[in-house]
Amino acid sequence: MSVRTLSVQDAKRLIDAGALLIDIREPDEFAREHIPHARSQPVSVLTSGALDVGDASPVIFSCRSGMRTRAHADRLAQAVPCEAFILEGGLDAWRKAGLPISTDRNAPLELMRQVQLAAGSAVVLGVALGATLSPWFHALSAFVGAGLIFAGATGFCGLARLLRRMPWNRRAMS
């Protein structure tokens, strides 16, 4: 079974007629903002034929920009027993069309944004302290840079694991 893309307008019509909208982003991303009535089903834990969609037909998959859903289109098609579509442009296109978005500003920033903020701040701090106090502080920037290279090469990000354990993220993940 293949997955076709739908425009925001066509997706809205199908959703209003009873189609199921499934957001494949991670729980921290979904908690911050999502399309109303969307169901969270992270693609990272999705297995073939595993989605119980009940009587819903068709199913529309979405993510933030549409890139993740396109990248996993075959996998998504195999996960449901009915016709499946991808929301073209994802949440960003939905927002651009002026359609409602459920937003929780009290939810923490997405984990990867937290990593980017923490790593970027540490690099800037290391450079600033290295330029003003001691060149040895440049080692902080080098350490963060090496950590990012390691994370990119292996898929293991120690900073993300550390941030995931922070109290504000534990509350959001539960």
Give me the active site residues, please. 63
* Alpha carbons 94 and 37: distance in angstroms, whole number: 13
CA angle 95, 99, 100 (to 5 degrees): 95
58 preceded by a cis bond (ω within 30 of 0): yes
* Alpha carbons 19 and 6: distance in angstroms, whole number: 12
Question: From the CA atom positions of the chain, what is the Rg in Å?
Answer: 20
* Alpha carbons 4 and 87: distance in angstroms, whole number: 9
